[in-house]
Amino acid sequence: MVDNASVDGSVEMVIAKFPQVQLIANTENVGFSKANNQAIRASIGKYVLLLNPDTVVQEDTFTKCCQYMETHSDVGGLGVYMVDGKGHFLPESKRGLPTPWVAFYKICGLSKLFPNSKKFGRYHLGFIDKNKTSEIDVLSGAFMLMRKAALDKVGLLDEDYFMYGEDIDLSYRIQKGGYQNIYFPETRIIHYKGESTKKSSVNYVLVFYGAMIIFAKKHFKGAYAGAFITLIRLAIYARAAFSILKRMVQLLYLPTLQFTIVFAGMVFITNFWEENIKDNSNFYPPLFIYVTIPLYIVTWLVCNYYNGGYDKPFKAYRVVRGIFIGTLVISSVSNFLDSYRFSKAIILMGSVWAAMSIITLHYLLKFIKYKKIEIEEHSDKKVIVVGNHEESTRVFNLIKNTGMKANIFGFVSTDNVSSAFDMYLGSVDRLQEIAKIYKPDEIIFCSKNIAAGDIIEMMASIGNQNIEFKIVPDESNFIIGSSNKDTAGELYTLDVHLALLDRHNIRNKRVIDFTLSVMFIVMSPILIFYIKSPWKMIENMFKVAIGKKSLVGFCGNEDERLPKIKKGILSPASEFEQITLNDETIHRLNLIYAKDYHTSTDLNIVFANIQKLGNSNV
């Protein structure tokens, strides 16, 4: 085992529980290639397997793969049929060599439009039957079984690649060494990470296509290499621009649509009021229509945002509350600005229209997308647990005791003991039918009772119903799975719900930061006589106001076990600065802060340590 400087206690756990394991503990993250090479050099087996940690293999996977390699001496590398966390086939299970034209077809979208074409679909070899053993060019680094003799001949992973591209490079060198790369679908694995790891992000585009440039410089020559590199660089700019544009559209399309609808309604209300009440079609000046009304709407939308009107699950009362607060703000401000005091009646009617139209728009969009309307939306996932009575009860208690937002809807039995379940839905052989009837958001399998191969079979049979699948290993307190399509596969423990991960708490923390930092800046002429380092305090408050820092952050160095937040001027340990705290105590203080976070938490820490707002170690 090679550990790339993890901070989650993995090294200590392996030493304590698996003393027979040969452990290489790196003091820094040296990257995928270098760490794997460390292990390969220390290995003595006939075969070498690269296997991602976010995978689940069938019980017979290794046996079948090694048997195939034993009977096919010309095979240097082998990959398998992979499915994601929803049971869908992952196309990167089989890939072609990314030559300039293959890369071009992928970049411009032709490979996606014509996935089965022998010309356009070569990146994922869509024209090769996914259920047929075939020779391919490129293996996936998630599962890459290689003959040690082949590695001795062609070399190990190229350490110039940090994260992406090393599997393509090694696959190509295996072929150049006179060996075959084989796609072997006779066994399957689950790869939770799959193709969904934030591949629209700018960082991914830079890292992934940067790896392609390394590949081109190394293996292609002359004009061929130049054309490939030029193409890749154009792709980087295009994909990065598209990624930024897509993110902006995702962020702004709903507020923009809401603004347009509310504005149209406000113009109608204004015209109606002019013609029927004021009896003057030009009663309100253009300033009111084109400046004041848009300012009203922006105020309503901002207040709607800060009252949770865009949070999931949608709650209509949050919109009403946000519009009401916005109306109070508008009325209060307009009383002080004669130029913008036009009509309280229009403000009142506009607020009613804003609330009604925003709520109606939400349900209309939901109906267009899902062909149904649910007035009461729930944040809790509807979960079905598959296992015997004992193991299902254990999983139920684990979830219940952690505060996870999960509604255990029912149990599916593997031992046909229906009377033992209070929420018995049926036996495991009817799971596909049960999933169709009850439409769960998530199915959790107890691996103590079900073989991995059977789990994968069931995932594949249900795979088109948009259900997440997770696995609870025997006697463990964690679940294997990916909780979001935009996150990598992970092992996440059922131990604690972190309040600081909740969107409304993140938003409220920012409101507290901005409000208090501005207040402290305004009060600085008084505070300079109280604060230890007044000029540093003012600098810190400006950084907090613009979002570079937070008033309160975690203490100590960055901890991967905790949510990502801005570095703080203060911390949960600020009042204990006279005491030397060990790492475990610091982690515990940080965890309690994240777990029980409330806006009052920050307020208490700030006002108890107000003299330290001029801290210079931030």
The pLDDT score that the predictor gives to residue 151 is 94
User: Residue 295 in contact with residue 334, Cβ under 8 Å?
Assistant: no
Q: How far apart are CA 470 and CA 475, in angstroms?
A: 15
What is the number of H-type helices and E-type strands within the chain? 21, 17
Q: Name every residue whose Cβ is closer than 8 Å to that of residue 199 and which is 6 or more positions away in sequence.
A: 208
Give the pLDDT confidence score for residue 488 in this predicted structure. 40
Residue 262 has pLDDT above 50, yes or no: yes
Alpha-helical (H) ranges within 439-577 are: 452-462, 503-522, 524-527, 534-545
Partners of 385 in the β-ladder: 411, 444
pLDDT tens for 21-68 read 999 999 888 888 889 999 999 999 999 999 988 888 999 999 999 999
305-311's contacts with Cβ under 8 Å and 24+ in sequence apart are 305/255, 305/507, 306/507, 306/511, 308/504, 308/507, 309/358, 310/254, 311/503, 311/504
What is the rounded CA–CA span in Å between residue 181 and residue 168?
A: 11
User: For residue 56, what is the enclosing H or E element?
Assistant: strand 55-57
Q: Residues 6 or more apart from 455 whose CB is under 8 A from it?
A: 56, 190, 445, 447, 469, 471
Lowest mean pLDDT among 96-105, 559-568, 580-589: 580-589
Higher pLDDT among residues 123 and 241, named by residue: 123
Given a cut of 60, whether residue 484 has pLDDT beyond it is no
Task: Give the model's pLDDT for residue 495.
Answer: 44
Sequential DSSP letters for 20-50: TS--EEESS---HHHHHHHHHHH--SSEEEE
Contact in structure between 209 and 236 (CB atoms under 8 Å): yes
How many angstroms separate the most distant Cα atoms in the chain?
93
pLDDT of res. 288: 85
Flag the least confident range among 203-217, 321-335, 467-481: 203-217
pLDDT band for 20, please (50, 70, 90 cuts).
Answer: very high
Q: Which helix (H) or strand (E) holds 425?
A: strand 424-427
With contact defined as beta carbons under 8 Å apart, do 527 and 520 qualify? yes
User: What is the CA angle 72-77-82, rounded to 5?
Assistant: 110
pLDDT for 224: 65
Query: How does pLDDT run across 137-177, given as a tens digit for each residue?
Result: 999 989 999 999 999 999 998 887 766 778 888 999 999 99
Q: What is the pLDDT of residues 281-302, one digit of tens each?
A: 778 888 888 888 999 999 999 9
Strand (E) or helix (H) holding 289: none
Confidence of residue 277 (pLDDT cuts 50, 70, 90): confident
Angle 557-558-560 (CA atoms, 0-180°, nearest 5)?
140
pLDDT at 130: 94
Which residue segments constitute the domains of the chain, with CATH numbers given? 31-94+130-192 (3.90.550.10), 381-497 (3.40.50.720), 500-612 (no CATH)
Tell me: the pLDDT tens digits for 295-333?
A: 999 999 999 998 888 887 788 888 999 999 999 998 888
Of the candidates 201, 86, 202, 192, the one whose C-alpha atom is nearest the C-alpha of residue 488 is: 192
